[in-house]
Amino acid sequence: MSFKKKQFLALGLTVFCMVLLMFVILFMVNLMRTNMIEIVQDRYFKVKQATEIRKLFDQADRQLLRIVVDNDVTDPTVISDFLKTNNAGIQSKFIDLQDSVNTKEGKRYINQIEVAYQSYHEMEQLFLVDLKNGEIDNLKTLYDKERANRDELLINLDEFKDYQESLMEVSLKNATNTYNTLVIVLISAVAVALLLIIIVTLWLIRSTSRNIHSITKGIKQIDFTNLTRIPRLDVNSKDEIGEIASAFNSMAASLETYSAKETQYTLEITEQNWVTTHSSSIVHLYSHHVTIEGLAEELINNLAEVLDAKLGGFYIKEEGKKPIFRKIASYAADTENQAGRDYFFEGEGLVGQCAIDRKVFFLNEVPDDYQVISTGLGTMKPKSILMAPILLKDDVLAVIELAGLQPFTSTQVKLLEEVLGTLGIAITNILGRMEIACLLQESQAKTEELQMQSEELQTQSEELQSQSEEMQTQAEELRMINEQLEERTKDAELKSEELQAAKESLEEKARELLQSSKYKSEFLANMSHELRTPLNSILLLSEMMTDDPNHGLNEEQIEFAKVIHSSGQDLLNLINDILDLSKVEVGKLDIHFEEVNINEFAERLNRHFMPFAKQKNLEFTVNVRENAPHSVFTDEQRLQQIIKNLLSNAFKFTEKGSVSVSVEEAKRQEYLELSLGKEADTWLKVVVADTGIGIPEEKHEEIFEAFQQVDGATMRKYGGTGLGLSITKEFAYLLGGVCKVQSREGAGSSFTLLVPSLPEGLSELEEIRVKEEAASAKDDDLLSEQMTDYQPVESMESFDESSNVLNGKTVLVVDDDHRNIFAVKNALEKEGMNVKTAENGMECLRLIEETSKIDIVLMDIMMPIMDGYETMKRIRGIEIHQEMPIIALTAKAMKSDRRKCIESGASDYISKPLNLEQLLSVMRVWLS
Amino acid sequence: MPRINKEELELDLLLLAIFKLSGYDFRQYMKSSIMRRVQNRLNLERLPTIASLTERVIHDETYLNKILGDFSINVTEMFRDPSFFKAFREEVVPYLKKLPEIRIWHAGCSTGEEVFSMAILLEEEGLRDRAKIYATDMNEQVISKAEQGIIPLQKMQAYTKNYMLAGGKQSFSEYYTADCEYAYLNPNLLEKVVFAQHNLVTDRSFNEFHVIICRNVLIYFNVKLQSHVLDLFNESLSANGFLGLGSKESIRTEADFFEDFNTNEKFFRKKAN
On whether both A404 and A453 belong to a single domain, the answer is no
A802–B220: do the CB atoms touch at under 8 Å? no
Residue at A694 is within a domain: yes
Alpha helices in chain B (DSSP H): 6-22, 31-45, 50-59, 61-71, 82-87, 93-96, 113-124, 140-148, 156-165, 223-236
Measured between CB atoms, does B33 come within 8 Å of chain A? Answer: yes
Whichever domain contains A655, its CATH number is 3.30.565.10
Tens digit of pLDDT for each residue in A385-402? 888 888 877 788 888 888
In B167-196, the residues whose Cβ lies within 8 Å of chain A are 169-174, 176-183
Rg, chain B, Cα only: 20
Question: What amino acid is encoded at B184 in this protein?
Answer: Y
The dihedral formed by the CA atoms of A488, A492, A497 and A500, expressed in degrees to the nearest 10: -170
Burial of A698 (0-12, 13-18, 19+ CB in 10 A): exposed
Euclidean distance between the first and the last CA atom of chain A, given in angstroms as a whole number:
127
A799–B248: do the CB atoms touch at under 8 Å? no
In whole angstroms, give the CA distance from residue B35 to residue B14. Answer: 11
Q: Helix (H, G, I), strand (E, B), or coil: what is residue A358?
A: coil
pLDDT reading at B105 higher than 90? yes
CB neighbour burial string for B55-79, b if at least 16 within 10 angstroms, e if fewer: ebbbeeeebbebbbbbbbbbbbbbb
Domain end among A408, A433, A463: A408
**Phi, psi dihedrals of residue A186, rounded to the nearest 5°:** -60, -50
According to the model, what pLDDT value does residue A788 have? 32
pLDDT reading at A119 higher than 60? yes
- Determine if the peptide bond prior to A885 is cis (ω within 30°): no
**Phi, psi dihedrals of residue A886, rounded to the nearest 5°:** -125, 120
On whether both A814 and A780 belong to a single domain, the answer is no
SS3 assignment for A121-163:
HHHHHHHHHHHHHCCHHHHHHHHHHCHHHHHHHHHHHHHHHHH
Domain end among A358, A392, A408: A408
B219–A917: do the CB atoms touch at under 8 Å? no
Output the average pLDDT for chain A.
77
**Phi, psi dihedrals of residue A322, rounded to the nearest 5°:** -115, 115
Total domains in chain A come to 5
Residues contacting A876, CB < 8 A, separation 6+: A882, A904, A905
Question: What amino acid is encoded at B79 in this protein?
Answer: F
The Cβ of residue A26 has, within 10 Å, a number of other Cβ atoms equal to 10
What is the rounded average pLDDT of the residues A180-198?
A: 85
Q: Helix (H, G, I), strand (E, B), or coil: what is residue B137?
A: strand
The Cβ of residue B11 has, within 10 Å, a number of other Cβ atoms equal to 22
Residue at A536 is within a domain: yes
Query: Which of the residue ranges A6-20, A353-367, A597-611, B241-255 would you say has the lowest mean pLDDT?
Result: A353-367
- Of A795, A798, A925, Cβ closest to residue B157: A925
Residue at A273 is within a domain: no
What is the rounded average pLDDT of the residues B233-247?
A: 90
Residue at A551 is within a domain: yes
In whole angstroms, give the CA distance from residue A390 to residue A422. Answer: 9
Residues contacting A56, CB < 8 A, separation 6+: A86, A89, A90, A93
On whether both A463 and A541 belong to a single domain, the answer is yes
B180–A803: do the CB atoms touch at under 8 Å? yes
pLDDT reading at A765 higher than 60? no
Residues contacting A549, CB < 8 A, separation 6+: none
* Residue of A884, A893, A882, A890 lying closest to A919 (CA atoms): A890
Question: What amino acid is encoded at A252 in this protein?
Answer: A
Measure A556 CA to nearest chain B CA, in Å: 48
According to the model, what pLDDT value does residue B70 have? 82
Residue A529 Cα distances to A482, A534, B237, angstroms:
20, 8, 73
Mutating which of B68, B144, B171 best tests the A interface, going by the most A Cβ atoms within 10 A? B171
Q: Which domain range does residue A778 map to?
A: 589-799
Residue at A21 is within a domain: no
pLDDT reading at A795 higher than 50? no
Q: Within chain B, which residue ranges are assigned CATH 3.40.50.150? A: 82-270
**Phi, psi dihedrals of residue A229, rounded to the nearest 5°:** -125, 115
CB neighbour burial string for A445-467, b if at least 16 within 10 angstroms, e if fewer: beebeebbeebbebbeeeeeeee
| Partners of residue A462 in chain B, C-beta under 8 Å | 75
Confidence of residue A277 (pLDDT cuts 50, 70, 90): confident
On whether both A468 and A602 belong to a single domain, the answer is no
Measured between CB atoms, does A451 come within 8 Å of chain B? Answer: yes
pLDDT reading at A780 higher than 70? no
The dihedral formed by the CA atoms of B195, B199, B205 and B208, expressed in degrees to the nearest 10: 30
Measured between CB atoms, does A922 come within 8 Å of chain B? Answer: yes
Whichever domain contains A889, its CATH number is 3.40.50.2300
On whether both A169 and A313 belong to a single domain, the answer is no
Q: Which residue of A has its CA nearest to B171?
A: A910
Mutating which of B71, B148, B219 best tests the A interface, going by the most A Cβ atoms within 10 A? B219
What fold characterizes domain B82-270? Answer: Rossmann fold (3.40.50)
Tens digit of pLDDT for each residue in A489-540? 887 788 777 777 777 776 666 666 555 544 554 455 455 555 665 666 677 6
On whether both A307 and A357 belong to a single domain, the answer is yes
pLDDT reading at B17 higher than 90? yes
In whole angstroms, give the CA distance from residue A757 to residue A679. Answer: 9
A908 within 8 A of A922, measured Cβ to Cβ: yes
* Residue of A625, A793, A654, A666 lying closest to A717 (CA atoms): A654
Residue at A745 is within a domain: yes
Residue pairs between chains A and B whose CB atoms are closer than 8 Å:
106
- The string of DSSP codes covering A481-533 is HHHHHHHHHHHHHHHHHHHHHH-HHHHHHHHHHHHHTTSHHHHHHHHIIIIIH
SS3 assignment for A711-747:
CHHHHHHHCCCCCHHHHHHHHHHHCCCEEEEEECCCC
Confidence of residue A436 (pLDDT cuts 50, 70, 90): confident
| Partners of residue A468 in chain B, C-beta under 8 Å | none
In whole angstroms, give the CA distance from residue A860 to residue A712. Answer: 48
Measured between CB atoms, does A446 come within 8 Å of chain B? Answer: no
B219–A455: do the CB atoms touch at under 8 Å? yes
Specify the long-range contacts of residues A750-753, CB closer than 8 Å, at least 24 apart.
A750/A687, A750/A688, A750/A689, A750/A690, A751/A646, A751/A649, A751/A650, A751/A687, A751/A688, A751/A689, A752/A685, A752/A686, A752/A687, A753/A642, A753/A643, A753/A646, A753/A684, A753/A685, A753/A686, A753/A687, A753/A688, A753/A728
Question: What amino acid is encoded at A692 in this protein?
Answer: G
Q: ipTM score here? A: 0.72
On whether both A610 and A714 belong to a single domain, the answer is yes
Residues contacting B32, CB < 8 A, separation 6+: A449, A452
Residue at A76 is within a domain: yes
What is the rounded average pLDDT of the residues A818-832?
A: 78
On whether both A674 and A735 belong to a single domain, the answer is yes
Whichever domain contains A349, its CATH number is 3.30.450.40
Query: Which of the residue ranges A52-66, A374-388, A748-762 would you say has the lowest mean pLDDT?
Result: A374-388
A295 within 8 A of A426, measured Cβ to Cβ: yes
Residues contacting B58, CB < 8 A, separation 6+: B17, B21
The dihedral formed by the CA atoms of A352, A357, A359 and A365, expressed in degrees to the nearest 10: -60
Confidence of residue B113 (pLDDT cuts 50, 70, 90): very high
In whole angstroms, give the CA distance from residue A206 to residue A893. Answer: 108
What is the rounded average pLDDT of the residues B199-228?
A: 89
What is the rounded average pLDDT of the residues A267-279?
A: 86
User: What strands lie across the sheet with A738-743, from one edge to the other?
Assistant: A619-624, A658-665, A683-690, A749-756, A738-743
Measured between CB atoms, does A468 come within 8 Å of chain B? Answer: no
A455–B150: do the CB atoms touch at under 8 Å? no
pLDDT reading at A334 higher than 60? no
Beta bridge pairs of residue A373: A380
pLDDT reading at A801 higher than 50? no
B32–A908: do the CB atoms touch at under 8 Å? no
B159 within 8 A of B77, measured Cβ to Cβ: yes
On whether both A795 and A828 belong to a single domain, the answer is no
In A772-811, the residues whose Cβ lies within 8 Å of chain B are 792, 795-796, 798-799, 802-806
Measured between CB atoms, does B157 come within 8 Å of chain A? Answer: yes
**Phi, psi dihedrals of residue B66, rounded to the nearest 5°:** -60, -50
On whether both A624 and A759 belong to a single domain, the answer is yes
In whole angstroms, give the CA distance from residue A306 to residue A274. Answer: 10
Mutating which of A290, A450, A452 best tests the B interface, going by the most B Cβ atoms within 10 A? A452
**Phi, psi dihedrals of residue A148, rounded to the nearest 5°:** -55, -45
Domain end among A735, A770, A799: A799
On whether both A170 and A76 belong to a single domain, the answer is yes
B177–A918: do the CB atoms touch at under 8 Å? yes
According to the model, what pLDDT value does residue B116 have? 94
According to the model, what pLDDT value does residue A783 have? 32
On whether both A527 and A627 belong to a single domain, the answer is no
